[in-house]
Copies of this chain bind each other. A is one copy, B any other.
């Protein structure tokens, strides 16, 4: 069975060496001293590796079962959920006034990475609740906040988001679910929603569904969509769960992975709902949840890659097969361990350089969110808005590929469910799809985010890279292995942007045909930037006589690998982009 060890040391490196969080002037960051974050991360590391990770395979094998309208979660999930609640892990970065711990978002993400690495399907019950709570926090009335938030912050009640219907996913304007206004100000919600993660289960006393629906007579299409709170049990005056509402799980989906999470078809039959935010402004409210969810999903790409990588390394050190071509390394054994072989190392270094780069990227991005929310920094808000589709699309695509590579290290055993490597791949696959399929992320990036505010945010990004390069001009230790490749990659990204500007005007398809490659190109530049920065602080640490020299040297080597072996992808993406829409759009649909 696979194991999981929380990468506390690497997180501490990113938080303190790289991001220097406790020196930041973002409100709340002053508390993030190394010993404090270490204590939190160590504790989270314990519960995730000891309690949640062992349940990962159980969840995959047993899945969820629907019987007489009741959904049974896998063995051990209820007890583990109780432990998570009791440990106070559910409201880490939610406001203290509703029972949370009020820590910055960056800490929520660091801890969230561990939960998801240990057990993605399990962590979703909590993750969806967090997203739903955030939406209520942002758009709810005081009464709604008081009614729902304390219970959701503690996960006594869980939450869901209901967008998709059988005939519409991305194109929510086609939605059919109706919300009919009642005299008491509530609505009667009727319709069917599909793919509802954590839609029904018995682990919580109530489930608070956030449901998109149309109020009859409202504007056509997406502009007529509103968001509603639809509790499984209607909440009594005293705040306790009361009568069963007209919402039920019609079926559980049989999925490729995340079997431990109950993915439901939800039927709403004149269920009582309460408007959340303004009528017909449901998409805006939902996007509060969606943007947060997209970062969380991007993180899932990292988390499955990390868990798979850890196990691949263990196997590569343990499994004896073949001999080192440059000389026997394990003369007392019948063969050398796999890890002596160059192609196994190439494979593992791909993984290692991805996960560590992705971790830095996502934690740095989280500080942008804190900066936007806690400091009201509009530039940070614009930048994270630009980067969100990159985080979601690039990290889940690459993260998935890494789980496939980790599986490969096991040879035939990687294909056998008993070893658990297939599960990482199957679980990771969903992240490329949900919260907006990655093609939609690419469209969002190129079609919307690039030009937002007159292209201000992408210019700010380029400026940031340029500033870093300038500041380190003359740093010979960084130049060849880090600064030069970063400069070249960043130039590719700018050239791609330029191509879009020049050719997208003539025909938007010239830009949209290259959107997916642009998303990946952008992602590589982000990871390249992170690696250059990590190399820099590691070199500084070594110069300052850091105790754990090996850690910093390893970091620099891993970064050099990324720059030499992964970053050259940018030129390929640029070449693809520069070929434009011509061959992409030429065929009649009939000729596919």
The one of B254, B342, B429, B439 that contacts A585, using a Cβ cutoff of 8 Å = B342
Between A164, A195, A343, A572, the greatest number of chain B beta carbons within 10 A of the residue's beta carbon is seen for A343
How long is the Cα–Cα vector from A333 to B557 in the complex, in angstroms? 56
Please provide the chain A residues from 535 to 592 with a CB less than 8 Å away from any CB of chain B in the complex.
550, 554, 557-558, 560-561, 564-565, 568-569, 571-572, 575-576, 579, 581-587, 589, 591-592
B343 touches A516 (CB 8 A): yes
- Cross-chain contact of A583 among B432, B442, B561, B592 (Cβ < 8 A): B561
Verify B322–A170 contact, CB threshold 8 A.
yes
| Interface pick from A99-107, A346-354, A456-464 | A346-354
| Interface membership of A466, Cβ < 8 A | no
Query: In the complex, are the beta carbons of A433 and B416 less than 8 A apart?
Result: no
Q: Contact: A416 with B255, CB < 8 Å?
A: yes
Give CA–CA (A565, B581) in the complex, Å: 11
User: SS class of chain A's interface: helix, strand, loop or mixed?
Assistant: helix
Of all chain B residues, the one with the shortest Cβ separation from A423 is B256
Is B415 a contact of A256 with CB atoms below 8 Å?
A: yes
- In whole angstroms, what is the CA distance A418 to B589 when docked? 26
Q: Please determine whether A412 and B433 come into contact, CB atoms closer than 8 angstroms.
A: yes
- The answer to whether B560 and A583 have CB atoms under 8 Å apart is yes
Q: Per-position contact with B for A247-278: 1 when CB-CB < 8 Å, else 0?
A: 00000011111000000000000000000000
A422 contacts B by Cβ under 8 Å? yes
What are the residues of chain B within 8 A of A550 when measuring CB–CB? 591
A13 to chain B, nearest CB (A): 14
A112 in the interface (beta carbon within 8 A): no
Q: Counting CB contacts under 8 A, is A372 at the interface?
A: no
Verify A408–B422 contact, CB threshold 8 A. no
Query: Quick check: is A194 within 8 A (CB to CB) of the other chain?
Result: yes
B434 near A515: Cβ-Cβ < 8 Å: no
Taken together, the copies of this chain in the complex come to: 2
> What residue in chain B is nearest A578 (Cβ atoms)?
B564
**Given that A412-B169, A416-B255 are known contacts, is A512 also in contact with B342, CB under 8 Å in the complex?**
yes
The yes or no answer to A425 lying at the interface (CB within 8 A) is yes
**Interface readout for A217-243 with B: 1 if CB under 8 Å, 0 if not?**
000000000000000000000000000
Number of interface residues of A (CB under 8 A): 94
User: Is there contact, CB below 8 Å, between A171 and B321?
Assistant: yes
Kindly state whether residue A414 has any CB partner on chain B within 8 Å.
yes
* Chain B residues in 8 Å Cβ range of A341: 439, 443, 512
B418 A433 Cβ-Cβ under 8 A: no
In contact, A174 and B335 (Cβ under 8 angstroms): yes
**A residues 158-172 touching B (CB-CB < 8 Å):** 164, 167-171
Contacts beyond the supplied A170-B321, A340-B589, A341-B443: 8 A-B pairs with Cβ under 8 Å: A313-B592, A342-B512, A342-B513, A408-B433, A557-B583, A561-B584, A571-B575, A572-B572
Q: Which residues of A contact B (CB under 8 A)?
A: 164, 167-171, 174, 194-195, 253-257, 313, 316-317, 320-322, 325-326, 334-335, 337, 339-349, 352, 400, 404, 407-408, 411-412, 414-418, 422, 425-426, 429-430, 432-434, 437-439, 442-443, 447, 507-509, 512-513, 515-516, 550, 554, 557-558, 560-561, 564-565, 568-569, 571-572, 575-576, 579, 581-587, 589, 591-592
Pairs A–B under 8 Å by Cβ, sample size 5: A256-B425, A347-B439, A349-B584, A408-B437, A560-B583
